[in-house]
């Protein structure tokens, strides 16, 4: 008998290479020097502004932002980004994001004041974090900012201050939840699975003192799993729908926080991040689908807020550094010492940062350990990287340093260097001066009895 049944259709899938899974090719050695950043000579930048030098590409920030915005607005009708200040709160960088239309997302009174000083309308500041003082809360309420409540003690503080000011502040709660990613981030906000979050929402609604405007979560950072965001979106949507049912109250927005990965390469990952990490479109797809599938009325979807930090700025930051010396370790391994250490390259602890020489080189390469200048054993920028021979005075470019380094950097042993931004017309602008001895000693006092000594 002839088989007339049609062959079963199987949907084609594109399968991503898994981070950490080796393939037969191994890691590529950089074989092209990076002589220019956005058309500006690396050597000239170092000569003019000094070394080490952080360089930010305004073009890369704007392009990355435009891509992210497009990824979400193609799939969901109402999207708003809020720039995560702690990721990089250099005023010039914040201004680029605000020019692009980003609100501000802050996690301390210091960051809040910085956003206000940058000219951000108080209504467009999202105030997160577990440590808001009475004065911070009072200021935020007066400016009609969005207060994201982290714990019950804060909720009662906000209620007290609101009563005193005779205002009804706009608030959201931060929710933590199981998204299938472990360890789970459950130290911030109210837990979903145990009912804490629903309890907090009930307390807010019954108090009558607060305007419940949104629901917030921030499930982790450098998350490699888009489905975790779908889970988060479903759970927040579930709370929003429960509020509609019980209180006939519609929230205005769902804020899914930050945490998308940049193209950096996590330590221990075999393949470079640019090949292994999911792109923003995959996150946009997971989140938009979950939200659209959750709400019954497509005309009344809540605003989707994203507090994306590192994915928007990491790739835009470079660090130019100079070779101080080469040496052979006792094992025979080549070591190259550069003038930038882990005190200004905090993310060396997490990433295998790509390093490219800034001048032409020969084909000979060797596995090299790259040390910073500190008198500290932990001062390692790359434990092992295949590099061509570099001579004293040569320049290198360290890639993808735009997120967290310029906020988490430490003044330790050396002073912190200058930062420039290259504009769209290829002109570099100084946006932060290097520190001097006075930057530090101006804050210090030597008591009278300690002033004199003889040696």
Ligand X SMILES: *Cc1c(COP(=O)(O)O)cnc(C)c1O
For ligand X (CB under 6 A), the number of binding residues is: 18
The distance of closest approach from Cβ of residue 19 to ligand X in the complex, given in angstroms and rounded to an integer, is 17
Beta bridge partners of 55: 318, 420
Rounded distance, CA 305 to CA 257, Å? 7
State how beta strands 190-191 and 170-176 pair: parallel
Q: Is 33 in the site for ligand X (CB under 6 A)?
A: no
Only one of the segments 229-237, 253-261, 263-271, 353-361 lies at the binding site for ligand X (rule: CB under 6 A); that segment is 253-261
Specify the 3-state DSSP secondary structure of 61: helix
The answer to whether residues 71 and 284 touch, using CB atoms and an 8 Å cutoff, is: yes
Taking CB under 6 A as the criterion, the residue among 84, 176, 213, 231 binding ligand X is 84
The distance of closest approach from Cβ of residue 150 to ligand X in the complex, given in angstroms and rounded to an integer, is 10
CA distances from 241 to 5, 336, 372 (A): 45, 58, 53
Q: Is 221 in the site for ligand X (CB under 6 A)?
A: yes
The distance of closest approach from Cβ of residue 440 to ligand X in the complex, given in angstroms and rounded to an integer, is 27
**Which CB sits closer to ligand X, 115 or 311?**
311
Helix H or strand E encompassing 231: helix 226-247
Question: Would you list the DSSP string of 272-298?
Answer: -HHHHSPPHHHHHHHHHHHHHHH-S-G
Structure tokens at 39: 């058309």
Q: Is 179 in the site for ligand X (CB under 6 A)?
A: no
Which residues 353-372 are close enough to bind ligand X by CB under 6 A?
A: none
- Residue 130 burial (10 A CB sphere; 0-12, 13-18, 19+): middle
Only one of the segments 95-103, 251-259, 291-299, 437-445 lies at the binding site for ligand X (rule: CB under 6 A); that segment is 251-259
Q: Is 402 in the site for ligand X (CB under 6 A)?
A: no
Q: Is 105 in the site for ligand X (CB under 6 A)?
A: yes
List of residues 6+ apart from 55 with CB closer than 8 A: 37, 45, 317, 318, 319, 320, 419, 420, 421, 422, 428
Which residues 110-129 are close enough to bind ligand X by CB under 6 A?
A: 128
The distance of closest approach from Cβ of residue 183 to ligand X in the complex, given in angstroms and rounded to an integer, is 16
**Which CB sits closer to ligand X, 218 or 432?**
218
**Which CB sits closer to ligand X, 57 or 84?**
84
Q: Is 308 in the site for ligand X (CB under 6 A)?
A: yes
Question: Would you list the DSSP string of 156-183?
Answer: HHHHHHHHHHT---EEEEEEE---S-SS
Q: Is 107 in the site for ligand X (CB under 6 A)?
A: yes
- HSE toward the beta carbon, residue 357, CA cutoff 13 A: 23
Beta bridge partners of 255: 216, 305
Taking CB under 6 A as the criterion, the residue among 52, 309, 372, 388 binding ligand X is 309
Give residue for tokens 């391994």: 333
Q: Is 258 in the site for ligand X (CB under 6 A)?
A: yes
Beta bridge partners of 82: 103
The distance of closest approach from Cβ of residue 164 to ligand X in the complex, given in angstroms and rounded to an integer, is 27
| Closest alpha carbon to 321 in 241, 382, 386 | 382
The distance of closest approach from Cβ of residue 187 to ligand X in the complex, given in angstroms and rounded to an integer, is 11
Taking CB under 6 A as the criterion, the residue among 139, 170, 218, 263 binding ligand X is 218
Taking CB under 6 A as the criterion, the residue among 109, 169, 257, 388 binding ligand X is 257
- 140-162 burial by CB neighbour count: b if 16+ within 10 A, else e? bbebbbbbbbbbeebbebbbebb
Give residue for tokens 């001579």: 391
Taking CB under 6 A as the criterion, the residue among 69, 75, 86, 98 binding ligand X is 86
**Which CB sits closer to ligand X, 86 or 353?**
86
Q: Is 315 in the site for ligand X (CB under 6 A)?
A: no
The distance of closest approach from Cβ of residue 258 to ligand X in the complex, given in angstroms and rounded to an integer, is 3
Q: Is 265 in the site for ligand X (CB under 6 A)?
A: no
Rounded distance, CA 84 to CA 433, Å? 23
Only one of the segments 79-87, 204-212, 228-236, 322-330 lies at the binding site for ligand X (rule: CB under 6 A); that segment is 79-87
The answer to whether residues 149 and 155 touch, using CB atoms and an 8 Å cutoff, is: yes
**Which CB sits closer to ligand X, 79 or 369?**
79
Q: Is 432 in the site for ligand X (CB under 6 A)?
A: no
Q: Is 310 in the site for ligand X (CB under 6 A)?
A: yes
Q: Is 428 in the site for ligand X (CB under 6 A)?
A: no
**Which CB sits closer to ligand X, 307 or 352?**
307
The contact set with ligand X (CB under 6 A) reads: 84, 86-87, 105, 107, 128, 218, 221, 257-260, 307-311, 403
């Amino acid at each position: 008998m002839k088989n007339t049944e049609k062959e079963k259709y199987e949907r084609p899938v594109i399968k991503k290479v898994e981070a950490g899974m080796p393939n037969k090719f191994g890691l590529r050695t950089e074989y092209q020097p990076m002589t220019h950043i956005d058309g500006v000579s690396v050597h000239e930048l170092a000569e003019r502004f000094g070394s080490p030098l952080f360089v930010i590409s305004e073009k890369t920030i704007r392009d990355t932002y435009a891509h992210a915005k497009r990824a979400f607005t193609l799939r969901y009708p109402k999207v708003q980004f809020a720039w995560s200040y702690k990721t990089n709160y250099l005023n010039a960088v914040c201004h680029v994001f605000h020019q692009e239309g980003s609100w501000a997302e802050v996690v301390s009174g210091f960051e809040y004041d910085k956003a206000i000083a940058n000219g951000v309308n108080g209504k467009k500041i999202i105030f997160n974090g577990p440590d808001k003082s009475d004065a911070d809360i009072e200021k935020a309420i007066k400016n009609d900012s969005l207060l994201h409540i982290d714990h019950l003690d804060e909720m009662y503080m906000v209620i007290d201050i609101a009563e005193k000011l005779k205002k009804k502040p706009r608030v959201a709660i931060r929710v933590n939840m199981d998204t299938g990613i472990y360890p789970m981030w459950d130290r911030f906000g109210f837990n979903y699975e145990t009912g804490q979050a629903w309890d907090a929402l009930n307390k807010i609604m019954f108090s009558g003192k607060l305007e419940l405007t949104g629901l917030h979560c921030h499930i982790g950072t450098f998350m490699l799993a888009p489905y975790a965001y779908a889970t988060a979106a479903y759970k927040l949507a579930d709370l929003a729908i429960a509020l509609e049912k019980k209180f006939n109250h519609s929230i205005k927005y769902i804020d899914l926080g930050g945490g998308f990965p940049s193209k950096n390469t996590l330590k221990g990952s075999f393949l470079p991040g640019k090949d292994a990490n999911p792109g923003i479109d995959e996150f946009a797809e997971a989140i938009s689908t979950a939200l659209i599938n959750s709400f019954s009325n497509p005309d009344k979807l809540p605003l989707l807020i994203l507090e994306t930090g590192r994915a928007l700025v990491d790739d835009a930051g470079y660090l130019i550094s100079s070779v101080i010396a080469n040496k052979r370790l006792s094992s025979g391994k080549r070591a190259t010492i550069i003038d930038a250490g882990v005190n200004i390259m905090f993310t060396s602890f997490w990433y295998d940062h790509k390093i490219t020489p800034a001048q032409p080189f020969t084909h000979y390469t060797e596995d090299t350990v790259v040390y910073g200048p500190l008198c500290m054993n932990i001062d390692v920028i790359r434990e092992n990287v295949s590099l061509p021979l570099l001579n004293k005075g040569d320049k290198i470019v360290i890639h993808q340093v735009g997120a967290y380094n310029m906020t988490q950097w430490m003044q330790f042993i050396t002073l912190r260097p200058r930062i420039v931004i290259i504009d769209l017309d290829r002109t570099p602008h100084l946006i932060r001066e290097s520190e001097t001895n006075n930057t530090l000693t101006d804050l210090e006092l030597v008591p009278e009895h300690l002033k004199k000594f003889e040696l």
